[in-house]
Every structure is written in structure tokens, then in C-alpha cells.
Structure 1
Amino acid sequence: MNFRTGGALIALQLACMPAAFAQAQTDPAAAPDSGEQIVVTGTRERARTQFDTLAPVDVLSNAMLESSVSGDLNDTLAQLLPSFNVQRLPAADGQAFVRPATLRGLSADQTLVLVNGKRFHRSALLGTRGAQAPDLAAIPAHGIGRVEVLRDGASAQYGSDAIAGVINLLLDDKPGMAVFGQASSYYAGDGNEYQGGLRGGIALGDRGSIVFTGQYDHAEATSRTRQRPDAIAFQAANPTLAVPNPVQRWGQPDQERIAGSVNAHVDLVEGATLYAFGTAQSGEGVTDFNWRNPVGTASVYGASSAFPGFSFTKLYPAGFTPRFGTRFADHQAVGGLRGDASDRFHYDLSVSQGESRIDYTLGESLNASMGPNSPTSFYLGRLTQREFNLNADFVYRLPVGLGDPVNVAFGGERRVETYRVGTGDPASYAVGPGAATGLAPNSNGFPGFSPAQAGQWSQRSYAGYVDLEWAPIEKVTLGAAGRYEDFSAFGDTFTYKLAGRFEPVHGLAARLTYSTGFRAPTPAQLNTRQVTQGLDTRTLQVFNQGRLSPTDPIAVALGAKPLKPEKSRTLTAGLVGQTDFGLGATVDLYQIDVDDRFGQSATFAVPATFANPDRFTSVSYFTNDFDTRTRGVDVVVSYARQVGPGKANLSLAYNYNETKVRGGNSASIANATQRRIFQERLPQHNATGTFNYDLGKVGVMVRGRYYGAWTDVTGNSTGELFQRFGGIALFDASVSVHVTKMLTLRAGAENVFDTYPAEATNQANRGLIYSRNAPYDTDGGQYYGRVELRF
């Protein structure tokens, strides 16, 4: 694959972990005497640990992040956190490259992502049911010091999107140098992946530090495919033609990316620290679409009076498989000033800007309606998401004369979010003269963005918040937060959170939170329309579907209404315990009610009173579809101590998660397909267990992962098809050797026993073997080797 960086990739600023409070990493020197690690997510109190937080927080170290073979942070988190799911989605347009990830079974954009405590921008892609979420793969894992995952609603503390929780990626800020190289391959002999990274940290005397990270990843395609039955029949009937076997590939895309980060801070004067940090990535990829059979694909190979004597069999006599390509780039830069104005008053003033840009291309295709004048490759257009934030955060330690001081955090935020759709080549969206005789318009496989789809839309919001924490007596901690936010697109909203923690005996505590939350519809969801093309799994005919803006005249005629924010109510109750002999455990029950949940309407035929130049077989629109209730339990157990001559570390985590539809508008209640997708598309039972044993210079890791039963859905021109899959267990193992203090070698395998799920039946006639919607890797076993140098 030809890799282009597009000129400027990593012109980054920036750096450090804000110090003592709001949305920032606390100075490790502020840790309590127990030596436990400070937790900074979900709290603005400067000395909280994982044990004494008011809500459950998972902490994942850099070593844990680098224990996964994948170069995609999504895959790593999915292996370590059973409440976090990510799908592969091969041959799924842009979702093959920007994959949807969910926390507690909620939508991908109902989890807020932070970097060093600051909001990370969304991807330009609208994914499953229109969810527009950040792309975690844009952040180099090699540059992350640790990850904190808050499993609780936090809109009152952080604003929109934090319905399911918060993922806070804290960049490494330690001096020193580290280099790694890794190679991996699947047991099947494909999917070779090559990774390399460099991290260098420099201390700026005793006044600060700057850390640079660069990471490269090249992943070759996989294929878990059988030859299509219609391709076998076509080859038998045309023995003189060379029909590829397989004619189309189902598997991971061919992909290459380079990413980097910078994290820096310097103390200007006493009480004032200048900080800056940022991330950037650039890359490209390609994946296959459905093969077009010369026999039976009438909308492509059919005769047309517009082009007498012409047939596309002259161009593609053995059929063709469109190759969908993407070039993507992300960057985010944050700068600010923080410090202590006094012993009691802390401040953090910051500005950030982020952008996601995606360009799409299509090769080995055509626009059938243009006949002999059609090109065979197309530029399809560009999607751009841009965000600009101004934040002012303060903390005041208010003495009250009883118990500890009240930690009073308060501040404000101004956000501007802009979405842009740029047009593709005219031929990619053209409706040529052959359309009137039944030939398909637009570039075949993925229609380009037309002037009717193009445009730029913005939304502004202003917010103010107050966040209180107080320990009135030694055994009790109380918390309360409130946030007011006003959006230019739909008006204002107010959310709040109440929390408490009671530790009746040392080492055992109960905690309880109740919060309201919201997720604001984005400019992309409010204003854009899209044309998608599919292949009917029964007739193997190409069909077009339209997803319209809720304000589109056709959508309005079909019942569409302006989008409203999703609103939530979350109740979490848990027990947390820790011992002096290395055993710790947490159990947290939760219930999340989401009203006006965002989704996609049922499909409709275009009314006869409207023109249909794109020849839609059906159309749909975004809507506030369902009211849902998600209930579940998280159990986490950890144990670390000396066992025999070595040190053992065991961690077990289990998540049960069930979503039910409580109600909705009359149209959505009748939409049984969307209801079933909400309730069954992800496993209800997930578990992971990791055992590490270090003996001298040798370390052994064994991990088991379990994914429960789930339901697959396949879109079709006549509706959706479903298939239920049972649970599956996968096992990973590795051995590492510290050859010297600087050099470490590691070898291992994921899915050691080469386990595959049951085969997917609804798309077998397209050559697909395993479901493309699976919440785990379906490519079988994968082995790898890794070399690390630390200076």
C-alpha cells in the first residue's frame, strides 16, 4: 500500500498534566501516605485514590496497554475491560477504519473521551445508527502513561456525551527513552502487522519536562472468505475468463498509519505553570466491496438504449469488486496556564482545537448510468469535524470548621463544533443518461458526496458548573455537582449529580451515586444526508438507500421531527474493599435510563409526490427513537503478592449488561428491527482474567476472555435478517525475558487455540464465513514477537 502523510503530520504543541484539580492529572507528589496511585477522573479533589473514589474507576497502566498485540487502542481496551466492546466491521464503508466502541452497551458517542483531562474531538465519521464518536485509534498507545475509565454518568461534571462514562487517556510525562519493534501474523498466514515506536522524555531542569512519541503501524489485510457460489457458476459457464478466487475479500482492511504525541510543561514562576500537549495521526487504508456479477446484475450490465451496442462486459468481463479507500488525518492541540494562586485556590485556563478529516476514494468501479463515458476510479469527497474549546476551571478549598475543607470546583466552557461535507468528483454522483433505462447512477459501491449533500454547519455552546466534595467526618465523603449548558441548536439543559461514600470499617466501603445526563445532537446528525449502496443477499442486486436529514422535505413528509438531546438518569451502588495482603475487590450495580435515545427510523418508500433521482429503494432519517433502560453489574477482583520465589498478579473482571426498550414514539415502537438491535446486538455477559507471574528476568502472562451470546443483523433491500450466536472463550499467552536492564524480548499469541465462532448463514452467498458484526476478532489465532529498549 502506498502511504501518504499528506505533507504535515505531527506539528504538535504541547503537554503536561494539569496539576491539582479540574480535568487534569494530579502531581504524584500529592499522593497520600499509602502510596496508592492518585485518580483524577470523575473527581476534582486532589488526593483521591482508586479505593476512595465516589464512583468506580478502572486504572490501566502503560504495561497493560502494551500487553496487546494490536496497534489499535480500541482492541486493547476491549481485552482489558469487559464492559467495553468494539466491532471489526469489514466491508462496512468508513466503519472498517473508524470502528465503533461502546461502554456498558450504550452508543459509541455516549462515552466521553478525554486526553489529559481535556475533551478529545469526535471523528468525522457517522457510524452505527449515526453515532459520531472519537476515534481512539488516533492516539498512539506508546505515548500513554495510563488510562482511567470512569464507569458512571458524568455529564454534570464534564458536559455532553458522558452518559455511559468517561475514558481519560493520560499521556506519559516521564523523562527517559523507550523504543520498540513488533511483528505479528495470523495462524492462517495473513494479516501481517509491523509496528514500531519511539518515546523520548527530557527533564527541563527541575522546572518541567517534555515528552515526544512517534508510532508507526502497517497492517496487511486478512481474508476469511469462500468463493461465492454465483462466481463458481459464472467461472464454469465462462472457462476462458480468469475469475479471481475469491472474487471479494471479507476481513480486516489493508491499513497504514503514523501517529505521535507531545506532552510538556514548564514552571514559569511560583504558582504558574505553562503546559501544552497534543496528538496527531495520518494514514490510509483500503477494503473490498461486493463483487458485481456480469450475469444478473442488470443495473450495471443490462443493455441500455442510451448506449446502443455498449456493454460493461468489455471493461469488466469477469465482473468487478470496487475497492474502497480512505485517507485520514487527526490532530488535537491543547495549551494552558495552571497553578496555585494561594494554598487554597487553584486555577486552570486552557484552549484546545481538534480536527478529524477523512477523504474517500473508490477504485475498480464505474458509474453505470454514464456508459462508455464512465471513469473507473473516483474521488468521493471529504468529511471534516472541527472543534474549538475554551475552558476556565477553578478549585477553592473552603474551610467550614467541621471536618475537612469543602473542595469547591467551578468553571465555564465555550465550545464551537463545525462539520463540513466536501463534494466528490462530478462523475461520482452523476445521474447519467442510462439511469432512465435502469442503469445505476453514481459511482458503483459508494456514491460520491453531491452538492445537495455538501455544506458546512456549526453549533455553539456555553456551560458553567459547580462540583463539590466534602468529608464531614472521617468515614463519610459526600459529593454534588451541577452543570448548566446552552446550545445554539436546541436551547439549554441542566444536569446534576449526587454521590456518597461510607467506610464503616477500614478497608471496606459502600458508595452510591445518582446523576442526570445528556448527549447533544451534533451538527452532522442534525444536517447531513447520505446515500449508501448495498447488495441484496438473496437477489444479489445492487440497491440504493438514502439516509435523510430530519429537516429534509421528504423526511418531514414521512414524519421526521427535529432532533432533541438524549437525556439520562443513572443510579450506581457499589461495595469496594482492599486488604493488607494484596487482595482488592469492587462490585457495582448500575441502572441507566436513557430517554429520546438516538437512532435511525424504519425504512420507507419515497413518496410518489417527490422526485427520486438517486433511485432509492428506501429512505430513513435520524430520530429520537427509543427510551431504554440498561441494568448491569461490574465485578473486579485483583490480587498481587509474592508467591514462592516470584511475584504473582491476578486480575478478574466480569460485566453483566442488559438493555430493554421502555417505550418510544409510535413509529419507533413499531420498528421491531431497531428494538431488537438495541436489546441483543452485544453480549450480556463479558469477562476477562489475566494472570502474571514474574520470576527473576522472566515473566509469564496468561489471559482468558469470554464473550456471551449476541444477535447479528444483516441489512437487506427488503428488511433485516437476524442470527443468534452463542458464547465464545478466547485465550492469550506471552513470555517476556529481561535480557538486560534495557533490553526486553517478548513472544506470545492471542487466541492461542485458534478458536473461531459459528459461521454466519445470512451472507454465505456473498462468500462471508464469519459475521462482520462480531464483538471480537474472527480471524483466528495470531502470534507475535516484540523487542523493547528502555534508556
Structure 2
Amino acid sequence: MKTSLSQVTRNVRIALAASAAVGMLASANTYAQEADEAEAKDFEQIAVVGTRAAPRSVGESPVPVDIISSDEFQNQGATDMVSMMQTVVPSFNVNDQPINDASTLVRPANLRGMASDHTLVLVNGKRRHRSAVITFLGGGLSDGAQGPDISVIPSSALKQVEVLRDGAAAQYGSDAIAGVINFVLNDADEGGMVEARYGSYYEGDGDLMQISGNIGLPLSENGFINLSAEYRTADPTSRSVQRDDAAALIAAGNTAVADPAQVWGSPEIKDDIKFFANLGLELNDNAEAYMFGNYAEREVEGGFYYRNPHNRGGVNDGGTDADGNQLLLVGDLTGDMSGNCPTDIQVGDNVLENPRYINEVANNPNCFAFNEMFPGGFTPRFGGTVQDMSLVFGTRGELPNEIGYDISLNLGQNEIDFAISNTINPSLGPDTPTSFKPGTYVQSEQTFDLDLTKPIEVGLNEPLYLAGGFQYRHESYEAKAGDIASYEIGPLASQGFGIGSNGFPGLSNKSQGEASRHNIAFYLDAELYLTDDFLVAAAVRYEDYSDFGNTTKGKVSARYQLTDNIALRGAYSTGFKAPTIGQSTVRNVTTAFGASGQLEDQATLPPTDPISVQKGGTPLTPEESESMSFGVVAEFDNGLFLTADYYHIEVTDRISTTSAIALTEEDIAALLAQGVSDASSFSAVKFFTNDFDTTTEGLDVVANYSQDMFGGETKYSLAYNWTSTTVDQASDNITPERVRMLEDNLPATRWSFTANHTNGDWRVLGRLNYFGSIFEDHLDSGLPIDNIGSELSLDVEVGYHFTDDLQVVVGAKNALDEYPDRNTQYDNEIAGAMYPVTSPLGINGGFYYVRGIYTF
């Protein structure tokens, strides 16, 4: 596969390759020391995220933090990080994206009912860069969101994951409105594992093959190199029925229509390659150097909407006659319109059998209709290649005066190169290609961090822990033009044929370019035990952005040990989310269903574009939030651990795309007059805007318990989430259906109960999952599907150690093969989707798998 590599890409690859080479040399000359297993086990209960004082256990934290071990990610049927997070964190939601443009490539996920870019993602405590993918179609809640792509992180690279379920923008900066997820990389200097996995859905499709591995190596006597890799492929799935219009064409004798004409299902993952490296080296007793980074590349291809050969706008639709009969769009190929091609051919039930079409078009070299190329219509295949890389290096330690320091440089880049096939540029007529590269988006970030800590004795049992720091961040968003044919204005454009690769028109030269900004931040944290039982903490952060100004946010939190077993905790914070460069500058045209129920080409323009301004667009400003939480922590002598936390989040000026705003003939004429020559190729416009306010409240309950039984040990865990979102205020740009999607598309209640029993060489796991009912506005076109029922699913897994080093596991995700309620309300008018596509249960049914794990 040929990909263009920037200088940052080359540098990251060279650095990671050098790290691997150093590790191999070190392993040839140094023997690893034995690890202290008890100490490692204790560390797994310690969280770094949420505090800059000494790391605290989950129970001692003044805010809710979940710690998820690497085993919990590996002991399940899901294989990509987004789905694995949903399994273990009930307030984390993600659904399938069978036909949703760029969301097919990077699925948006939601924590605590917020959009996908309301959660700050860290790796080893350092901010993770964003994806270049903007979710133009994000299922309502995440429309327009631009968050990090966590699916590039292989589970084999992880030591643990820390989920801070509380607003933390005052501590970590923009995006931490819903919380923070910190991926802690494996730092073992010896041993490793190799895992091979195969799985398939009960329906016999979606075959998955994956191989992954991890190895720890010493770096001299005082350091480590830990390397992880993963390779995965997956076949597509289909949970579709034939569309009504396609079935009617077949019944009328059109044998060229596919069945199903439109596929709803998981996309094909052609290649998914992930590599992570984590290095550390002790410089002396009080200082160490570290470096970690990744390279990942994923090629994905999914389905798209069916183009009916009778009435697809800009391709086959010639309008209607005086009696309302559908006419065929016919092009004149002579160049001077001397072909006298017919413009009044009625398509009827099957235009292919119309004698006038046969004689005057199909057998006439001067005239052309796309029915000649695609007699049964066509369904584009949309996808692309995601390339992700990062490199972080720095040093940390403690000075003689007990001042701790951490200085680091963080480089990150994500690139998406779109691809679309089995489609056309209608304006090029019979000379059109059928596959295109419509353009590339690149997100790049560079961050410098200086963090300082200092314990100060204040006459109490515990010192006052102060932390302060500085951050400089530069980010850019670049759009690169697609191949010429993907946006070329062909000779048939003036005759009513659409311009650009149908379904996803390419970025033109005038739409490409790079925009950038920088920001600086200063923060101060303080933590103090006023008594042995009463911890208080406060944080304040000032940030100044080059494009929209500055903001100051704060947070206070406290924890009180009420009894030996029960503690109370709570927090209040203000937060913000800065608009991304991509949201402020991106241009895109995509095909979606409009309010009329018909496919239309919708252009997403910058909010400062003249057309956006004409429709109410204004420069973006930051989202502002106020968050409050309080809860209880209980640790009983019998080993039961329980937390319950209520949260209340108010967000004003939320950034999202508007609903599609129809362009009138007058609007299009104005566009053409301004030199926007492809204005006639789209029917509606969207833009990013600070468009609505919301209030989200909820309750998280987490419980863990273990007991000896049946000659072994059983560990139980319960995780429960209730979330409710209300749109307090919204502009006229957002439709009532969109408001309902924001409020009701995620399940109000989710919980999972897991029992994991280990007995000698055997391990048996069972997990019961509950998803509450949801609402879906199917196709974003005013086809509401009310009260999609709640669902229960069961995951099971059985593992057996044939030797100390070799384990074989068989299991099933959704073992009872449950599906969401079948679509019946609109028969097949919902474009062939058998099930509600945003169901949190998924639409594919049961999935079985087998995996073999060899450890060394």
C-alpha cells in the first residue's frame, strides 16, 4: 500500500525502529530481574489520573475513578478498543456505524451521555492527539465531534486503564467535560505473550482473524523496553432486507438490481496494523528518562446508500412532466447539443424496457444515460485508510529540595485518506472513472509540558501537596485535494448532471489548505488532609488560545472518611471545550437523507463562509460547563467494595453541526454568482455552530466482591449507569428529531454483572449486559422509531491452561444471539435496514471466538 509520509511520520518510525533495535541489543547482553508480583498487584489498584500528588487508590480518591486491568480487556469477545471500553465501562456507549460516512472509519463513543470529544484521552498521563476524522454524521449526539481515535491502541500494550468519571478541565485542559481516560502502557522489562484469535458471527459472516503480541526487554540494568503489536482483519456483515424501490424494479423485470441493493452491516476491515513502544531508563536514583509512541494503519471499506436508476438526483432524475410522471435524465454527448437527445422519456416501472430509451438513448451514440453503465442502479462503497502515529519523550525526577519535575515533548499526527468506489462523477458522462480518492485530512499536534510538584509541611499529619505547570500546544488541520476526477466539472454539468464523485465529492484545489493555532496554559493544583479523615483539593487553570481568546476554570473536591468502612466524596468544577481547527475550517460534501425522505448532497462549510453567514453562521466560541458530583465509597471487611456517584453536568453553547438547511434556487444562484461553480451539486448546507445547551445528570454504581467457592475463587463485579440528558435551549437550526436524538438515542439505563471463576487450570466467565430502550430517527430524515425495546445479552468464556504457558479460550459475545427489535413500522421504507442501526446491543447478533495465548 502506498502512502505519503510526512517528516513527522518518518521521524516517528525512525525513533520506534531505533528503540526496537536498542531493545534487541540490550536483551542479548542483560538478564532481567524477577518482578515482585505482590507489588504489581497492589499497583493495579493505584490511579495516577485525577491527582498530581502521590498516586491514590480508587477508594481514597475524592472523585470517581475506575481502574481496569489488562485482563479485563483481554477476557472478552470484542477486539477493538472502543467496543472493549463499552463492555467494561457502562457509562461508555458506542454503536455500529454501518452507513455513516467518516464515522465508519472512526466510531464516535460517548462517556456519561456527552459527545465523543467531551472526554479527554491520555496515554501515560500525556494528552492524546485528535483524529483527523470529523463525524459529520454522528447519530445526533456526536454530530460534528472530533475526538481521538482510541481504536489504534492494542489491548496487548496496556497495563491498565484509568477512567476518571468527573469534569477535569481545570486539571487537564480542554475536552475533559465528561471525564478523562488514561491508558497506562505496559512497562514490564521481561516476559511477553503471543495471542492468536479467530471469530465469526452466528450468521456465518464477519469472520475475524487477529494476532497480537507483547514483549518486555531490559534496557541496560536500569531500564526497560516494552513492545506491542497487533494485526487484524474482519469480513463485512449484512443485516439487510431488500428496499421497496429495489424490489419493485426487480418485479418489473430489471434483473440487474442487487439483492439486497443496500447493505447495512459492519464494514470490511482489510488491514489493521498497530504498534506501540514504551521505554524507560533510570538516569540516577532521582531521575529517569522515558519515551513511548505508536504507529497504526487501518484500511476500512463500508456500505453506502443505493442509487435508484430511475430517480437519483443529478444522475438519473430528469424531473417530471405535467402529469407528474418521472422522466429520465439524458445527456447530449455532441458538445454542441446537436444530438437532439430526448428529455421526455418516462421511466415507468422499468425504463430499460421502454422502446424510446432503447432506440433513442441506448442505441444512439450521441445520447447517454447512466442506465447504460448501471442498469440496476448502483451502491457506492465508501471507506479509506487511517494512519496514526505519535512520539512522546521526556524526563522526570525529584530535585534535592523535594521538587518533583516532569518535562516532556509530545508529537502526534492522524491522517485519513478517503476512498470511494462503485460510483461515478456524473458530469463526466461515459468517461467517468468508477473509483476515486476524494481527498485527505490531516490532524497534527505538538505539545510541550512542564509539571512541577512540591510537598509543603504545614503542621498537619500530611503535607500540603502543590502542583503547578505550563503547557504549550500547537495544532493544525490540513485538507488535501482529491484526485482531479473526484471534483472535476465535466461537460454534462450544464445539463443537470451532478459534479464530483457521487456520494462523497472530492476536495478541490481551492478547498485544500492548512489552518493552525496555538495555546498556552498555566495551572495550579493543591491537595491537603485537614484531618486524617478529611481530604480537600482545588485546581485552577488559565488557557489562552490564539484564535478565540482566554478562559480560566476551577475545581474543588473533597473526601470525608465517615466511618472505618464508609466515606463521602464530592466535587464541583467549571470546564470548557475549545472548538477544534477542523470544526472551524473544514469543507465537506456528503450524501444523506433530507427532511423530504430523499437522498441529497449536503455541504458542510466553515461557519464563517458567506453562505453559512447568510444562514446564520457565526465564529465558534468555546463550550462552557458546570459539573457537580457527590457520592459514597464503602469498603467492608468481607471484601465488598462499593461506590455510588451522582453527577450533574450543564453545558452551554455546545458545538455541533446544524441540521441540514435546504438551499433554494435563489441561494444556489447566489453561490454561482460568487464563483462557487459546484453549487448546483448539493441541495442543503450545514455548518458548525454553538447551537444548544444541555443538562445531563446520572448515577454510577460500581461494586466488586470475591469469594472462595467450588475449590477456586470467584470474582464478581457490578457496574450500573443511569443517564438523562435534557436539551434546555436550541436554535431553529436543530430539528425536533435531532433534539430527541440528543435526549433519547443513548440508553437511559445500562448495567453489567460479571462473574469470573478460576479453579486450577480452568477459568469460566459469564457477563450479563442490560441496555435500556432508545429512540432512533432513522436516516436523519424524520422517520422516528419510538421505544426500541430494552435488551439483555449474555457473554460467556471458558479458558483452560494446557501448560503454565499455553492457554486456549473459547467464548461467545451475545451468546444467546439477541437482536434489537426488528424494524416494522415503516416496512422497507427505512432503506433496507433490518434492525435499528444505533442500537447499543448492535445489529449483528451472536459472535463466537476461539483464542490461544502463549506466555513466556
Deviation, 1:94, is 1.3
Report the residue type matching 1:208 in the other structure. Answer: G
Question: How far apart, CA to CA, are the structure 2 residues paired with 1:29 and 1:488?
Answer: 49
Moved more, 3-12 or 677-686: 3-12
1:489 lines up with 2:547 in the alignment: yes
Question: How far apart, CA to CA, are the structure 2 residues paired with 1:457 and 1:646?
Answer: 59
SS in structure 2 opposite 1:564?
coil
Question: How far apart, CA to CA, are the structure 1 residues paired with 2:832 and 2:111?
Answer: 32
Report the residue type matching 1:641 in the other structure. Answer: Q
Contact 1:12 1:261 in 2 (8 A): no
Deviation, 1:762, is 5.0
Deviation, 1:249, is 1.7
Question: How far apart, CA to CA, are the structure 2 residues paired with 1:529 and 1:33?
Answer: 50
Deviation, 1:102, is 0.6
Give the direction of change, closer, same or farther, for the CA distance of 1:474–1:29 in structure 2 (3 Å limit).
farther
> For residue 852 of structure 2, what is the aligned residue in structure 1?
787
Question: How far apart, CA to CA, are the structure 1 residues paired with 2:685 and 2:48?
Answer: 45
> For residue 29 of structure 2, what is the aligned residue in structure 1?
none
1:434-476 Cα distance to aligned partner (Å, 9 max, x none): 2333222211121111234321111100001011111121111
SS in structure 1 opposite 2:161?
strand
Contact 1:258 1:281 in 2 (8 A): yes
Q: How is 1:312-711 mapped onto 2 (pairs within 5 angstroms)?
A: 312-342=370-400, 344-534=402-592, 542-606=599-663, 608=666, 610-611=670-671, 613-615=678-680, 616-664=682-730, 666-667=731-732, 671-711=735-775
1:411-437 Cα distance to aligned partner (Å, 9 max, x none): 100000100111112221233332333
Question: How far apart, CA to CA, are the structure 1 residues paired with 2:826 and 2:130?
Answer: 33
Question: How far apart, CA to CA, are the structure 2 residues paired with 1:343 and 1:194?
Answer: 54
> For residue 229 of structure 1, what is the aligned residue in structure 2?
244
Q: 1:775 aligns with which of 819, 829, 840?
A: 840
1:271-310 Cα distance to aligned partner (Å, 9 max, x none): 2211000122112011121222223335313333533411
The aligned length equals 773
Contact 1:31 1:37 in 2 (8 A): no
Question: How far apart, CA to CA, are the structure 2 residues paired with 1:270 and 1:313?
Answer: 76
Question: How far apart, CA to CA, are the structure 2 residues paired with 1:442 and 1:270?
Answer: 62
SS in structure 2 opposite 1:369?
helix
Give the CA RMSD over aligned residues: 2.3
Deviation, 1:776, is 3.0
Contact 2:791 2:841 in 1 (8 A): no
Instruction: List runs of 5+ in structure 1 lacking aligned partners.
Output: 16-26
Deviation, 1:31, is 7.7
Deviation, 1:719, is 5.2
Give the direction of change, closer, same or farther, for the CA distance of 1:507–1:48 in structure 2 (3 Å limit).
same
Q: How is 1:197-216 mapped onto 2 (pairs within 5 angstroms)?
A: 197-216=212-231
SS in structure 2 opposite 1:433?
coil
Question: How far apart, CA to CA, are the structure 1 residues paired with 2:599 and 2:758?
Answer: 56
Deviation, 1:370, is 1.8
1:249 lines up with 2:263 in the alignment: yes
Question: How far apart, CA to CA, are the structure 1 residues paired with 2:855 and 2:548?
Answer: 52
Instruction: List runs of 5+ in structure 2 lacking aligned partners.
Output: 21-34, 317-327, 334-365, 673-677
1:76 lines up with 2:113 in the alignment: no
Higher-Rg member (1/2):
2
Contact 2:600 2:684 in 1 (8 A): no
SS in structure 2 opposite 1:319?
coil
Contact 1:743 1:789 in 2 (8 A): yes
Contact 1:453 1:530 in 2 (8 A): no
Q: 2:175 aligns with which of 126, 136, 161?
A: 161
Deviation, 1:228, is 2.3
Contact 1:89 1:773 in 2 (8 A): yes
> For residue 18 of structure 1, what is the aligned residue in structure 2?
none
Moved more, 619-628 or 600-609: 600-609
1:236-265 Cα distance to aligned partner (Å, 9 max, x none): 3336x4433222321001102010100010
SS in structure 2 opposite 1:77?
helix
Q: 1:306 aligns with which of 323, 332, 335?
A: 332
Question: How far apart, CA to CA, are the structure 1 residues paired with 2:646 and 2:264?
Answer: 39
Give the direction of change, closer, same or farther, for the CA distance of 1:319–1:606 in structure 2 (3 Å limit).
closer
> For residue 137 of structure 1, what is the aligned residue in structure 2?
151
Deviation, 1:757, is 0.6
Moved more, 756-765 or 378-387: 756-765
Question: How far apart, CA to CA, are the structure 2 residues paired with 1:503 and 1:84?
Answer: 29
Runs of 4+ aligned structure 1 residues displaced above 6 Å come to 3-9, 27-36, 536-539
> For residue 22 of structure 1, what is the aligned residue in structure 2?
none
Contact 1:293 1:320 in 2 (8 A): yes
> For residue 98 of structure 2, what is the aligned residue in structure 1?
90
Report the residue type matching 2:671 in the other structure. Answer: A
Give the direction of change, closer, same or farther, for the CA distance of 1:446–1:33 in structure 2 (3 Å limit).
closer
Report the residue type matching 1:98 in the other structure. Answer: V
SS in structure 1 opposite 2:424?
coil
> For residue 749 of structure 1, what is the aligned residue in structure 2?
812
Contact 1:702 1:733 in 2 (8 A): yes
Report the residue type matching 2:441 in the other structure. Answer: L
1:759 lines up with 2:817 in the alignment: no
TM-score in terms of structure 2 length? 0.87
> For residue 20 of structure 1, what is the aligned residue in structure 2?
none
1:616-635 Cα distance to aligned partner (Å, 9 max, x none): 32212211111111111101
Question: How far apart, CA to CA, are the structure 1 residues paired with 2:759 and 2:398?
Answer: 45
